[in-house]
């Protein structure tokens, strides 16, 4: 047979080709589509939209926003400043402590470093610290230790452990095992091995994530303040309670400004350490 007749197939017909479907069995495939469709139809059907209220809400929103202007930085400047101070303090301390605590936990939660029991324990701790949103932890901490920035600090530190520990563990699991093997083969001790083989591989990403967490913690410090854990959030909440929308607008602008500054700096630093 010549190549031509081979290509055309035995009967002179072209062979058909179609991309194989992700789910092989057609019955399962169609059943899944159907189930998803029914659920969505029911879910949207249950949602009640009161168009009258939506219509009322829009002009109210417009009034609300116009209340924001012009933002008033002056009349509550002292409160804003002390709230801001508290927030920054809370952000920095919780990030530093959170990362410090998360390093041993993250090492223990990396499958390729830790023995099984340690791995399970550390993964358990991480899962626990990650299972609740900051606001819920903050409410709990405020109940335990009273109002104020200490509760906020604890909340953010716990959240940082879950975040940083998990990503550290995952980064270690993704490292190049051969580099680690090579350092081990020199007869290095365990800590030397960490320092020479693991740390260089994960460091750039961890610096980037540390800055990212700093950024997140500042934003979260505003949120946890609303449930009583101090900081700029408390100032914001007070302003809303007193219907001082112009002061609230000032606080919001300051938060946006600081988040943007941290964002740009962390982007810059991350580029540098790569």
Partner 1 sequence: MLRLDSLSKQYKTGDLALTNISLEIPNGQVMALIGPSGAGKSTLIRCINRLVEPTSGAVYLNDLELSSLNQSNLRKARRRMGMIFQEYALVERLTVMENVLSGRLWYVGFWRSYFRKFPQSDIDEAFRLLERVGLDHMCDKRADELSGGQRQRVGICRALIQDPELLLVDEPTASLDPKTSRQIMRLICELCAERKLSAIINIHDVMLAQMFAQRIVGLQLGEIVYDGPPNGMTPAVLTQIYGEEDWEKTIENVDDDDVLDDEEILTNDA
Q: Which is nearer to partner 1, 75 or 186 (CB)?
A: 186
* Minimum distance, C-beta of residue 199 to partner 1, in the bound complex (Å): 9
- Nearby residues of 8 by Cβ (< 8 Å), 6 or more positions away: 14
Nearest residue (CB) to partner 1, 5 versus 186: 186
Q: CB 184 → partner 1: shortest distance, Å?
A: 7
Q: From the CB of 166, what's the least distance to partner 1, in Å?
A: 23
CA distance 75 to 58: 29
- 68 SS3 class: coil
Query: How many CA atoms are closer than 13 Å to the CA of 219, on its beta-carbon side?
Result: 13
Q: Give me the 140-179 binding string for partner 1, x by CB under 8 A, dash otherwise.
A: ------------------------------------x-xx
Cβ distance to partner 1 smaller for residue 182 or 260: 182
Site size toward partner 1, by CB under 8 A: 22
Task: Give, in degrees to the nearest 5, the angle at Cα 200 between 208 and 195.
Answer: 120
Cα pseudo-dihedral 253, 219, 140, 92, rounded to 10: -110
**Torsion angle (degrees, nearest 10) of CA 6, 7, 13, 19:** 130
Cβ closest to partner 1, residue 56 vs residue 176: 176
Nearer to partner 1, 29 or 111 (CB): 111
Which C-beta is closer to partner 1: that of 93 or that of 179? 179
Are the beta carbons of 64 and 249 closer than 8 angstroms?
no
Touching partner 1, residues 180-209 (CB under 8 A): 181-189, 191-193, 195-197, 200-201, 203-204
Cα 60–chain centre separation: 32
In the bound complex, what is the minimum distance in angstroms from residue 47's beta carbon to partner 1? 51
Distance CA 35, CA 130 (A): 31
Q: How far is the CB of 195 from partner 1 (least distance, A)?
A: 6
Using CB under 8 A as the binding rule, whether residue 93 contacts partner 1 is answered as no
- Residue 22 CB-density burial (10 A; 0-12 exposed, 13-18 middle, 19+ buried): exposed
Contact positions vs partner 1 (CB under 8 A): 176, 178-179, 181-189, 191-193, 195-197, 200-201, 203-204
């Amino acid at each position: 047979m010549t190549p031509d007749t081979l290509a055309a197939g035995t009967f002179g017909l072209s062979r058909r080709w179609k991309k194989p479907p992700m789910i092989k069995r057609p019955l399962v495939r169609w059943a899944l589509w159907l189930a998803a469709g029914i659920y969505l139809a029911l879910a949207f059907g249950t949602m009640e939209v009161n168009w009258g209220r939506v219509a009322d809400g829009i002009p109210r929103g417009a009034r609300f926003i116009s209340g924001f202007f012009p933002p008033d930085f002056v009349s509550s400047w002292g409160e804003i400043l002390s709230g801001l101070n508290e927030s920054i303090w809370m952000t920095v301390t919780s990030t530093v402590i959170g990362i410090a605590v998360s390093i041993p936990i993250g090492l223990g939660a990396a499958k390729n470093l830790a023995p099984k029991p340690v791995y399970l324990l550390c993964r358990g701790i991480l899962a626990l610290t990650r299972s609740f949103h900051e606001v819920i932890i903050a409410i709990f901490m405020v109940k335990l230790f009273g109002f104020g920035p200490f509760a906020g600090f604890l909340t953010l530190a716990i959240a940082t452990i879950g975040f940083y520990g998990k990503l550290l563990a995952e980064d270690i699991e993704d490292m190049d095992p051969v580099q680690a093997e090579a350092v081990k083969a020199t007869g290095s001790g365990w800590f030397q091995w960490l320092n020479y083989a693991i740390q260089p591989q994960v460091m750039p990403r961890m610096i980037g994530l540390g800055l990212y967490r700093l950024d997140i913690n500042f934003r979260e410090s505003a949120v946890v303040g609303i449930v009583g854990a101090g900081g700029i959030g408390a100032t914001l909440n007070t302003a809303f309670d007193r219907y001082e929308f112009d002061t609230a607008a000032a606080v919001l602008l300051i938060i946006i400004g600081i988040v943007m500054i941290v964002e740009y700096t962390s982007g810059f630093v991350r580029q540098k350490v790569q």
